[in-house]
Amino acid sequence: MTASDQETTRESGGAANMLDGNLTTIWHSQYSPTLIPFPHSIVLDMRAINEVSGFTYTPRSGTSRNGAILALNTGMVTPLTVANTGHDMFCPGVSILPDGRILIRGASNAASSTIYDPANNMWSAATPMNIPRAYQSNVTLCNGQVFLLGGSWAGGQGGKNGEIWSTCAGWRGLANVPVAPILTNDPQGVFRSDNHAWLFAVADGKVFNAGPSRRMNMYTTSRASAVQDLGLRADSGDAMNGNAVMYDVGKILTLGGSPAYQDSDATARAYAIDINNGVKVTRTGDMAARRVFLNSVVLPDGQVLALGGQAYAKPFSDATAAMEPEVWNPVTGKFTALAPMTAPRTYHSVGLLLPDARVFVGGGGLCGTCTTNHPDGQIFTPPYLFNADGTARPRPSITTAPTAAVRGSTIQVTTSGPTPAFPLIRMSTVTHSINTDQRRIPLTPTGVTGNTASLTIPSDPGVVVPGHYLLFAMDVNGVPSVAQTIRIG
């Protein structure tokens, strides 16, 4: 068997070792992949000498279980099968649409798109993307459309320029929205350097790109599409597999990351970015632990919880795992270490805010039968729900609130007692440490009658991206209620 060329980069380098001492026979170098090999082998009898340029495979669309739903009220996990879409949704991009449906696109068969409707628990195939991709980032825009960029992990490498999706028109390419400005200087090249961009929807259909490249950008997604270079993120280097969260209107915290996707040291640095009037970047306090593959969750009180990760970027490994969460205070700019987790949460882990103001963290691994798989989860209870002696604090409650509102309107919310603060936090999705859906919008009552507060929803769609939000009421001690869900459009 002979070959005209060989793969010399990617996971395992090139063929190097002779199989039997015969110089005309070669054997691939010892294979130690960062991704689990496919658990299948095929022997082909082609009955002739042929030239083979490569192999492709058809992603699974059978009837084996490939998903699950967790019921928060019971803790029960229900496995499910998604066979009708023909979409292998391993490592896709995910966004919540304004009507509550979920758009999933890309992944192992990289052009596919799927929509999940939680109202009827139905999955349906959507229009394929124009550019196949995986490990891209995507974000729901102020007009309810979805923008995506990057993603050379699948579907070919390079040229993963911007596309936009709408309910009525499906996908369309954007002529002047190149991927090049977001590229990091990764040693694996564009296969990794266009992955997992930190994207935030702002006004007028624009998208702020905060990283992980050290350069920041503003993308315009309207018909007159464009990109504007906004300069460096202060003294930060590339921060691949770190993350970023909008903890207040126009204010973003970036955390951790490493210069390369894998096999590189993580950083403990954090930066606060203010995009309300131009772009201002300030290096804030460092985390106690260096973290890559971490998750960050904005809490109702505006603090940001950093969960999991590891000090050295190594997919499918729990070595150097950070076990203690840290919470960042936007007033002091400092992190405080909290009670440690009992399971490592590194590559492929997730973290999400729950309606009861606690935080779900789970997963990690997903590499066949390796020992670093963590098919479980935990719920973290933040300090604001405890007294100093460890007992549970009394919590306010929302007794009446609307289930829907429009931007610019005033709503009435009745609570069990005085509650001076009402944060809105958009319901969100997370994959590979990236959550472009979550954003916190603090509301202050414009009037109070008894225990009923008048709250005005901001009119700016760049602030209140359409969708479903968790509305919390917070008492004078900073204790949040269980949230009420409100759809804002």
Q: What residues does each domain of the chain span? A: 89-385, 398-488
pLDDT score of 17 = 46
Q: For residue 212, is the peptide bond before it cis, meaning its omega torsion is within 30 degrees of 0?
A: yes
Beta pairing, strands 404-405 & 377-380: unpaired
- Options 219, 261, 347, 469, the catalytic residue: 347
The residue ranking higher by pLDDT, 138 or 55, is 138
β 484-488/404-405 pair status: parallel
Write down the residue that tokens 């963290």 correspond to.
Answer: 361
Helices and strands (H and E) in the chain: how many = 1, 36
* Pair 381, 432: CB distance under 8 Å: no
- In DSSP terms, which residues pair with 254 in a beta bridge? 244, 271
Residues 49 and 43: their CA atoms lie apart, in Å, by: 15
Phi, psi of 356 (to 5 degrees): -90, 15
Mean pLDDT value across the chain: 88
Q: In the structure encoding, which two tokens stand for residue 411, read together?
A: 């709503």
Sheet holding 404-405, edge to edge: 404-405, 484-488, 467-471, 422-426, 440-443
pLDDT score for 90: 82
Q: How far apart are the first and last CA of the chain?
A: 62
Q: Which residue has the tokens 């449906």?
A: 101
Superfamily of domain 89-385, CATH level 4: Galactose oxidase/kelch, beta-propeller (2.130.10.80)
Which positions ≥6 away from 11 have C-beta within 8 Å?
32, 33, 34, 35
pLDDT at residue number 55:
46
pLDDT value, residue 78 = 86
Fold assignment, 398-488: Immunoglobulin-like (2.60.40)
Neighbours of 487 (CB within 10 A): 17
Percent of the chain with pLDDT over 90: 75
Q: What are phi and psi of 219, to 5 degrees?
A: -100, 135
> What is the arithmetic mean of pLDDT over 283-310?
98
Q: Which two tokens stand for residue 269?
A: 């640095």
Share of the chain above pLDDT 70, in %: 87
Query: Under 8 Å CB-to-CB from 328, ≥6 apart: which residues?
Result: 253, 255, 270, 284, 285, 287, 303, 304, 305, 306, 334, 335
Predicted local distance difference test score (pLDDT) of residue 369: 80
Report the C-alpha gap between 204 and 465 in whole angstroms: 11
Residue type at position 489: G
Burial class (CB in 10 A: 0-12, 13-18, 19+), 120: exposed
d(Cα 248, Cα 440) in Å, to the nearest integer? 5
For residue 316, pLDDT beyond 60: yes
pLDDT greater than 60 at residue 485: yes
Q: How far apart are CA 138 and CA 131, in angstroms?
A: 14
Give, as one character, the DSSP assignment of residue 128: P
Question: Is 384 labeled as catalytic in the residue annotation?
Answer: no
Q: Is residue 196 classed as helix, strand or coil in its secondary structure?
A: coil
Higher pLDDT residue, 41 or 75? 75
Q: How far apart are CA 365 and CA 310, in angstroms?
A: 13
pLDDT band at 18 (very low <50, low <70, confident <90, very high): very low
Between CA 469 and CA 449 the distance in angstroms is 24
pLDDT > 60? residue 114 = yes
Residue 48 binned pLDDT confidence (cut-offs 50, 70, 90): low
How large is the average pLDDT for residues 459-477? 97
